[in-house]
Chains A and B, each alone.
Chain A
Amino acid sequence: MPKSLAKPLLLAALASSTVPASADDSLYALKQMSLDELADLRVSTATHRSERLEDTAAAIHVLTAEDIRRSGATSLPELLRTVPGLNVARISATEWAVSARGFNNQFANKLLVMVDGRSVYTPFFSGVLWDELNIVMQDIEHIEIVRGPGGSTWGANAVNGVINIITRHAEDTQGTLLSVVGGDLQSEIVLRNGFKAGESGHARVWAKLHQNDRLGGTPDDSEDIHWRGGRAGFRGDWEMAGGNLMVEGESFRELKRQERAYSGAHLLGQWSRTSDEARDELRAYFNRFTLDHWMVLNNGARAELDTFDLGYRHHFAPIGGHNLIAGVGYRNVASDAQMTPPAGVSRSSRTDQLFSAFAEDTLALAERLQLTVGVKVEHNEFTGLEWQPSARMRWTPTKGSTVWASVARAVRTPSIIEDSARVTSYIGPRAFTNGLPLFVNSNGNPNLNAERLIAYELGYRAQVNPRLSFDASVFLNDYDRLVTVDMIGAPRLVPSLPSPYLTWNALAGNSLKGKASGFELSVDYRPADTWRVQASYTYLDMNMSALPGNTEINPLRAAGESPAHQATLISRHDLRHDLELDLQARYVSALSTYSIPDYLTADLRLGWRATSRLDLAFNGRNLIGPARKEFGTNLVNASDAYLIPREYYVTANLRF
């Protein structure tokens, strides 16, 4: 079936209201939609605020449940490899580097990730622990990925992008599902049961266990180790008093012996009510996350973070030409962090409060021209008051085509580690150390400023005909006050025998600025009703420049941590009504910081719907070329990363 770019979105704040359509227009639009999209359309007469992808003035991509299923991915980062413009590099069985528009790193800190509105970006070190986020893939309804800043809506740390994971309504997961994954490097079992909960509600409960085997050894033959984990949770949805109540919770533990152990639990409640054209949303959650044990750059850490978050937003009924959304939020993070000496945290126990408010207005400037202006103001305990405004303009010259442009400001606030930790990193012998090993003692700095971005974007997307659509975006990101590790004085020789070494003290600073620019192109083509091809190309150019006071060892390394060129080709072919063949190929150019050469590889999946209640899929990953490193870890070389090998696995889903 032809499929348009149109996708209903929850990203209400980024979307604007749509132009009216005649009956013939809407039938034409409906015909072009896929089954997924049709099933996701609200048809009630109360509200038709159907925000669609083509109406959004941002570089956005949506992964539907169908995309997720056919990717064959068993983890979020592996799934995100299929998204145009995202860079995903695997480091080990448990670690990935994921970013958009540059600044990729094991501790990539410019991408905000949320699950049902709950932030999983940790303020401990600024970033996302993807191995903590081992959620049940079958429970994901869709994922919205925005490249570019989302600070005016989502607040701090939505600098280079936002990933919004939305899980399924409990009514959509009724019955029992048994899902099994078995392969040469991983195994997994998921059991889920959905049932009616009272007169007006539905619920599900689930449990998941997994084991990921060690990946191949590094050239020096050190070996990665097993990663195991388990989690159990529930979600309930009820319709009551003219609104919807959703409650969900989960408890998990992930363990990689000697390296890391995490545990955590959360409870989230969300109340929403839609009346006429207005909508209210109230959300509260409590999240406990514990790093029972964590090794980072050979520093042991332990931390416990208790987050309480409360947010309310109101979508006003249109007034005149205006469409207004406003909201307030409060977050309290009580944390306790310790590091193994000589590393340490000077303010080990702390409570950080975050107050926020935002407003956004979409106004029709002309029949086909809309402007959205918004601002989020936040007060945080690290850098005080931060404001993040944006202006987005959308022009729809013809039916099915959209030109958009935006200017936005976004900030990243310092993490607890950047604020108050003392960490020792082993840099190893370098040319300037006369062959002696070097240890850097870096110290957090409570006077750090927030990193700042002004982003300029321009985009065009068009549905050329029912079978062909494309999407292009150009961006220029202007960064300032990026956080650095600035060396103090000269290295000091420690004449210990038999192996003397150097130590060098450092202090966190804001002494880097730079520009990243590039463009992203993607094409979605359906040669036949049973065949869909998606191709994308991403170009990135990063120019960092050290500010006075920057004495980093490798100040410009970020430019060599993200590929300049990336290309993907995805083919989804229905061979028969019950047979699916999926190909995902990708090219990633070299990473100079880690001396990693460019590579081309591909994944294949053969899916078979054996009966209406049983489906099987055979998956092969990294099928082209030998095992290879995709990234590095210790900031200067790839020695701690593992070779990512070819991998085979079978998945089976049984519904009863």
Chain B
Amino acid sequence: MLHTGSSPLLALLRHSIAGALLLLALVRPLHAGDNSPTAFAENEVKAAFVYNFAHFVRWPEGHSLRPGEPFRYCVLDDALAVLLAKAVAGETLDGHPLIVQRQPDPRNFQECHLIYFGDQSAISPGTQTELLRRLTGPILTVSDQPGFAARGGMITLTHKRGRIHPIINTDAIERTELRVSAKLLNLATLTRDGKGSAP
């Protein structure tokens, strides 16, 4: 018979685990326990998405992102700007420091690499459509407002079954030199100019 049995180490392990668990099973809970699970606020998850977009979209080298210059997130949403600023603190992207500009003047939008239109942005939908139309060059536009894609915006963060879900207007992206990674395209719902922000 080839039976050699288990090693003494494993036998010891087995007995100690069994002993520890048995002991613990006999112990009553020490206290009611703070059992509240990790809660992620909606804005935090949105901030994490926006933070990530810089990594999953490619900006053309050259005029818009010169060596050593910072990568600018322009955020028209006070709450999100605070969270995003915390997220990017000390981080870089291919050697470019990441910075967050809160409520920048629309006249300076051309300096942004990413613009986030939040709920608090005091820009009317009509003005927004006009602004988006006037933006030229590789600037990623993101928002959580319904109908953003239909107004020419690129990425809309929507709610889907209690989760945050990106919708990408591929027509808006393709009008620029921005290139979205395969990973992000696979995850998102793709839409086109004519289709509004559905589904």
Contact = CB atoms under 8 A, between A and B. Distances in A.
B37 A38 contact: no
A39 B170 contact: no
Interface stretch (A16-24, A105-113, A440-448): A16-24
Contacts of B14: 456, 476, 478
B183 interface: yes
Contacts of B18: 407, 456
Given A39-B187, A371-B24, A458-B13, A321 B32 contact: yes
Interface string B180-194: 111111110110000
B24 A393 contact: yes
Nearest to A363: B29
Minimum-distance CB pairs A-B, first 10: A364-B33, A545-B3, A321-B29, A321-B33, A44-B162, A30-B48, A609-B182, A48-B39, A577-B58, A612-B170
A391 B47 CA distance: 39
A458 B17 contact: yes
Given A393-B20, A393-B24, A545-B1, A43 B35 contact: no
A27 B29 contact: no
Between B38, B48, B186, the greatest number of chain A beta carbons within 10 A of the residue's beta carbon is seen for B38
A529 interface: yes
A543 B6 contact: yes
Given A405-B17, A456-B18, A574 B181 contact: yes
Contacts of A202: 199
A38 B174 contact: no
29 contacts: A1-B55, A20-B37, A20-B39, A21-B38, A24-B86, A35-B183, A35-B184, A38-B52, A40-B163, A41-B40, A43-B162, A46-B162, A48-B39, A52-B38, A66-B186, A171-B199, A364-B30, A391-B24, A393-B20, A405-B17, A517-B10, A546-B1, A574-B182, A574-B183, A576-B58, A577-B181, A609-B182, A609-B185, A612-B173
A336 interface: no
A93 to B, nearest CB: 29
A577 B187 CA distance: 15
Contacts of A474: 10, 13
A174 B167 CA distance: 12
Contacts of A318: 35
Contacts of A323: 35
Interface string A234-267: 0000010000100000000000000000000000
Interface in B91-136: none
Given A26-B38, A174-B189, A546-B1, 19 more contacts: A23-B41, A26-B41, A27-B47, A27-B48, A31-B51, A35-B184, A38-B52, A40-B163, A42-B163, A48-B40, A320-B33, A365-B29, A391-B24, A393-B21, A393-B24, A517-B7, A543-B3, A577-B58, A612-B168
Interface of B: 1-7, 10-11, 13-14, 17-18, 20-21, 24-25, 27, 29-42, 44-45, 47-49, 51-52, 55-58, 83, 86-87, 160-166, 168, 170, 173-174, 179-187, 189-190, 199
Contact of B190 (A478, A544, A577, A655): A655
Interface residues of A, number: 83
A545 B174 CA distance: 67
Contacts of A406: 17, 21
A27 B44 contact: yes
Contacts of B39: 20-21, 26, 48
Interface in A202-219: 202
A221 interface: no
A23 B179 contact: no
B38 A19 contact: yes
A364 B45 contact: no
Contacts of B31: 321, 364
Interface in A349-366: 363-366
Contacts of A405: 17, 20-21
A29 B190 contact: no
A655 B87 CA distance: 34
Interface string A480-512: 000000000000000000000000000000000
A613 B190 contact: yes
Nearest to A578: B182
A373 B25 CA distance: 8
A42 B164 CA distance: 8
Contacts of A24: 86
A44 B170 CA distance: 28
A30 B40 contact: yes
B110 to A, nearest CB: 23
A320 B31 CA distance: 8
A544 B5 CA distance: 9
B83 A27 contact: yes
A43 B40 contact: yes
A104 to B, nearest CB: 18
A436 B152 CA distance: 81
Interface in A529-559: 529, 543-546, 556, 559
Nearest to B185: A612
Contacts of B34: 19-20, 364, 367
A322 B28 CA distance: 11
Given A405-B20, A544-B2, A321 B162 contact: no
A23 B35 contact: no
A118 interface: no
A517 B1 CA distance: 19
B181 A515 contact: no
B98 to A, nearest CB: 12
A223 to B, nearest CB: 37
A363 B163 contact: no
Contacts of B25: 371, 373, 391
A31 B162 contact: no
Contacts of B57: 577
A393 B18 CA distance: 11
A379 interface: no
Given A364-B35, A612-B190, A580 B45 contact: no
A302 interface: no
Contacts of A40: 163
Contacts of B29: 320-322, 363-365
A18 B37 contact: yes
Contacts of A574: 181-183
Contacts of B41: 23, 26, 43
Given A23-B44, A43-B163, A476-B14, A48 B37 contact: yes
Nearest to A405: B17
A391 B162 contact: no
Nearest to A29: B38
Nearest to A49: B37
A95 interface: no
B30 A366 contact: yes
B160 A171 contact: yes
A160 B152 CA distance: 53
A598 B86 CA distance: 51
Given A556-B2, A612-B170, A655-B190, A41 B37 contact: no
Contacts of B6: 476, 515, 517, 543
